Structure 1
Amino acid sequence: MTAAGDSHEIDRLRESVQARLEVAVGKGRLTLEEYSEQAAVVWSRDIGIERLRELASVGVAMAPVSAPQSTIVGVFGDVKRSGRWSLAVKTSVLLVFGDLKLNLRSAVIGARVSTITLISVFGDSTVTVPEGVHVELDGFHLFGDREFDSGAQAPGPGAPTIRIKSYSVFGDLKVRTR
């Protein structure tokens, strides 16, 4: 096969594997971090055609599907979520005199777009997202700061979206990748 033919096959295989990854993460079969890692491999300049063929033939394991809605409440205490857990399509968080730490790098998502609504009074919120996902921030902070570190990796085509709506009085919001 010619170099141009290899190039076309590589492009076709990349698009095929990317589409399978998008379906898998949308159905909750991959965590956000697993999606991010695999998408980085697929779009790497150094990947060979044999490795792409291997990725195209491998199935993705089933994982539980997330609930459509979830509520987290913390009053005079901190709330922490990390490891493998299900992020609902819509998650509402209410904090009063407490801090929130959500680590989404190993979370299973239930939809292509997930929304986290944070309401905080006298509490800080830290949300850790994997690199390579879209993050949208909205809301307001009164007497608090908002920091966003999107990381070095740009979201790939069809990457999941995490919408964070944060409303805080005397609290900070930090969204970071590590």
Structure 2
Amino acid sequence: MDESSLEERPQDSAPAKVRLDKAAPAASDPALRASDADRDGVADILREALAEGRLTAEEHSERIGAVYRARTVGELAPLVRDLPAGRRPEAVPAAVRPPDASTRPAMGAAENLIAVFGGATRKGRWRVGARTNAFALFGGAEIDLTEAVFAQREVVINAYVLFGGVDIRVPENVTVRSAGAGVFGGFDVRTNEAADPDAPVVVVTGFAVFGGVSAKARRGKRLKNLRAGD
């Protein structure tokens, strides 16, 4: 009886080990549930593609919506498969990781501008980071870049409005692109492609609900040094 029990023990333990192995899917498994970091990574790739002119504003908006509806990495991968960053072999998982720190500008901490039942303003001589978040609730926010110092070539302004407004002014020789939408409100971004290829790129994204976001070049105001960081 004891001998038969000893003979059966290896057989009993083997299936248990197999079941444990099968319970851990590979990182490249398209059925793997996507994390917030995975979605944000794909959103970064799409934002960079918009800034480079690889995607139109309509294509970017459509894909961004699909990013935040995606539940698995398999749903994320096709959204960047036709973009250079999405084809990198080192991208993980399922070719959806954003470019590494050596191939993309450092994002740094975002600057926040909040106007709730009041106003908020950022203007004059100030150093613009990679991201600026503006939120207006029953109030107004003003972002004036006409005298700002651009720390890097690409700047993203995320504007979110609910019963309020965000007004953005940029130098007339800077590229301006839009990736936002208005819902019972307006998202009026006057896009502009600067003649100088070294000009900074300002991408305005977000949404306006019962309010408005506006961005346009201020005539007569020009950025003197177009090379970021100089």
Q: TM-score range, shorter-chain basis? A: 0.5 to 0.7
Per the TM alignment, residue 146 of structure 1 is displaced from its structure 2 partner at its CA by 2.7
The AA in structure 1 aligned to 2:169 is T
Contact 2:140 2:165 in 1 (8 A): yes
Cα distance in 2 for partners of 1:74, 1:143 equals: 20
Alignment of 1:142-153 (within 5 A): 142-150=183-191
Change (3 A) 1:82 1:130: same
Q: Which residue in the other structure is 2:176 paired with?
A: 135
Any residues of structure 2 matched to 1:1-178 within 5 Å, and which?
A: 68-150=109-191, 154-178=194-218
Cα distance in 1 between the residues matched to 2:195 and 2:213: 22
Q: When the two structures are superposed, what TM-score results if normalisation uses the length of structure 2? A: 0.45
Measure how far apart 1:148 and its partner are: 3.2
Does structure 2 conserve the Cα–Cα contact (< 8 Å) formed by 1:75 and 1:97?
yes
Q: Deviations over 1:1-46 (max 9, x none)?
A: xxxxxxxxxxxxxxxxxxxxxxxxxxxxxxxxxxxxxxxxxxxxxx
Cα distance in 1 for partners of 2:156, 2:172 equals 17
C-alpha distance in 2 between matches for 1:155 and 1:166? 26
Answer whether contact 2:136 2:161 (CA < 8 A) is retained: yes
Q: Secondary structure at the match of 1:132?
A: coil
| Identity %, equivalent residues | 29
Structure 1, unpaired ranges of 5+: 1-65
Q: Which has the larger radius of gyration?
A: 2
Other structure's SS at 1:158 match: coil
1:4 — aligned with what? none
Is the Cα–Cα contact under 8 Å of residues 128 and 149 in structure 2 kept in the other structure?
yes
Q: CA deviation at 1:147?
A: 2.4
Q: How many pairs align?
A: 112
Report the TM-score when normalising by structure 1. Answer: 0.57
Larger RCO, structure (CA 8 Å, separation 6 or more): 1
CA shift, 1:150, in A, is 4.9
Question: Whole-Å Cα distance in 2 between the matches of residues 101 and 67 of structure 1?
Answer: 22
Distance 1:150 1:162, change over 3 A: same
Q: For structure 2, list consecutive stretches of 5 or more residues without a partner in the other structure.
A: 1-106, 219-230
| Structure 2: distance between partners of 1:148 and 1:94 | 17
Greater percentage in strand: 1
Secondary structure of residue in 1 paired with 2:171: coil
Deviation at 1:169, TM superposition (A): 0.6
Equivalents in 2 of 1:140, 1:126: separation in Å?
15
> Structure 1 residues 135, 169: closer, same or farther in 2, change over 3 A?
same
